[in-house]
Structure formats: C-alpha cells, structure tokens
Amino acid sequence: MYTTFFFPKGLGYAAGTVLPMPNGDLAVFDLERRLADGPASAEELARLDAIRPHLARAAALSTRLGLERAKAIVEALGQAGMPAAVLGAGDRVLAANQAIQALPRQIVFLAHGKLGLADPASSQLLATTLAALGRRENTNSIPLPPANETAAGVLHVLPLPGGARDIFNGAKALLIVTQLDRPTSPTAELLTGLFDLTASEARVARGLSEGRSTDEIAAALGLSRETVRFYLKGVFAKTGVSRQTELVALLSGSALPKARELE
C-alpha cells in the first residue's frame, strides 16, 4: 500500500484510531499526511484525541442508521412476498424479515447471529458459497428441499460489492428465497434467473421437468446426446443435485430424495 500508492503520491505518515462499534464491528479512522511533513507531533495527536469521542459517536450513529436502512430494505422485500436477510462480516445476520423467519423448516437461525439451512447438503453449499463469494465459479443459487407443508425453494446469495455495501452498512450478501410452489414446469427464462443457468442449460432443465428423456431433449433441441449430458452436468452443479430424479423433484416442488453428502 505504501510503496505502490502512498509514497508515489508524496504521502507516508499517518495518525489514526480504532473504535469498537456497538454491533461488534470496528471503525478505523486513518489520516494520512505528506512524507515531507514528518510524523504527527504530540500537540497534533492531542488535538486529534480531543475529537475522538465525536468520531466515535458519529461512527456509532452511522452504523445504527445503516442497520435501520438494511432492515427497511428486507422488510420492503417481505411486503413483496420475498423472504430476505442481509449478512454482514463473519456471515452474521444484520437484518431478516418475517417472511424468511417463517421458514423454520428450511432456514435456521443459529447462535452468534449466524444463519444456516436445515438440509445438511444445502447448508454446506451455503457455507461454501459464502466463503467463495465474488468468484465467478461460485454457486449463488442453493436449493431448499421441501419440509412438511413448506414448498421447495431456491436461496439466492447476492454479493454486495462497492456502493451496495455502503447502502447495506458494509454488508457482505443479500439472501432472497424464491419458493417453488407452482405445479407447472418453470419456463426456461425463470430457470435461468433462479439458478444462474445459461440459456442452453435452462432448456435442458425444462425438458427434464416436462418428463422428457435426454434422447428426446437432444432431438428436440437439435443437439447430440453428449452435448445434452454436458449441459446437464452444469445444471447439476448449479442446482446442488446429482441425479435427474432429484432435479425433476426440485423443479416440481415435490419431495427431494435424501440429501447427498457433498465432497
């Protein structure tokens, strides 16, 4: 940071402070100065110490306002029928609406402000997704098997980079649940949005949900059987299932077979 950014710009000395926030985060103030001016003097540090309580109050108020903003956004999503939650540093829940709290058979709120999934395989997939958030190869859509009278669903993990993090008080991710409670086969366009599928993967997935075999799908799409199987592997990877029967069950909202162990 110093050799590639500060020094070339004539900077090199700094004074700062670290302030613990009520929500467990740390607020860091770093004041850079020109290298030619030397380090901050004792008198300058004393003047900065005098305003430190004001900085602490401002940071605490900003944190509180950011949390209220995050809560307002997830509540608005709840009014639109979308279960949602916002995760912050350490994957802690910053805000969660009543809609997502009403899915205890699928969404589990854990100790230390954490969130998990009732299905072991899906829960591990969520942990892997959060750990690798932001990477292109990361799976951001996670299947939620049905439980009792709760329909199957899809948990979307949306990273919040840049300006979005400011809006959500430095949050890491926005979680939104889409429930698959319709008996008809989902359209290819819907599948694309639900599971981050490519257009070809979505067409193959829809064909399976309609009860077609891989040979029938290949003939209908003008593809070879091997190409259909290639697309099917991508669908499996993105939906978290390993068999065609599991995929058909997920897309129809019916009961999934016993969850497979993730390797």
Average pLDDT over residues 28-55: 91
Closest listed residue to residue 139, CA positions, set 257, 15, 35, 239: 239
Q: Give the lowest-confidence range in 1-10, 106-115, 129-138.
A: 129-138
Cα(212)–Cα(131) distance, integer angstroms: 36
**14, 39, 66: which is the final residue of a domain?**
66
Task: State residue 179's pLDDT score.
Answer: 73
In a domain, 98, yes or no: no
Least confident of 4-18, 108-122, 137-151, 182-196: 182-196
Q: Which two tokens stand for residue 166?
A: 């400011």
Predicted TM-score (pTM) of the model is 0.51
Do the domain assignments include residue 25? Answer: yes
Domain count of the chain?
2
**Of 249, 70, 84, the residue nearest 156 (C-alpha):** 84
Q: Is residue 138 part of a domain?
A: no
For residue 225, the surrounding DSSP H or E stretch is helix 225-239
Question: In this predicted structure, which of 14-18, 39-43, 121-125, 149-153 has the lowest mean pLDDT?
Answer: 149-153
List, for residues 180-210, the tens digit of each pLDDT value.
665 455 556 556 655 667 888 888 988 887 8
**Taking the mean position of all CA atoms in its chain, how far away is CA 237?**
17
* Residue 256: band (very low, low, confident or very high) from pLDDT cuts 50, 70, 90: very low
Does residue 177 sit within a domain?
no
Judging by DSSP bridges, how do beta strands 173-179 and 153-159 pair with one another?
antiparallel
**CB-count burial class (<10 Å; 0-12, 13-18, 19+) for 25:** middle
Picking from 33, 66, 99, the residue at the C-terminal end of a domain is 66
Residue 199: both structure tokens together: 């257009």
Q: 82 in a domain, yes or no?
A: no
> Of 49, 66, 83, at which residue does a domain stop?
66
Distance CA 186, CA 192 (A): 10
Residue 73, domain member (yes or no): no
How far is CA 38 from each of CA 14, 76, 176, 209, rounded to the nearest angstrom? 9, 51, 50, 69
Domain that holds residue 251: 183-263
**Which of these ranges, 120-134, 136-150, 228-242, has the smallest mean pLDDT?**
136-150
- Domain presence at residue 140: no
Domain-embedded: residue 249: yes
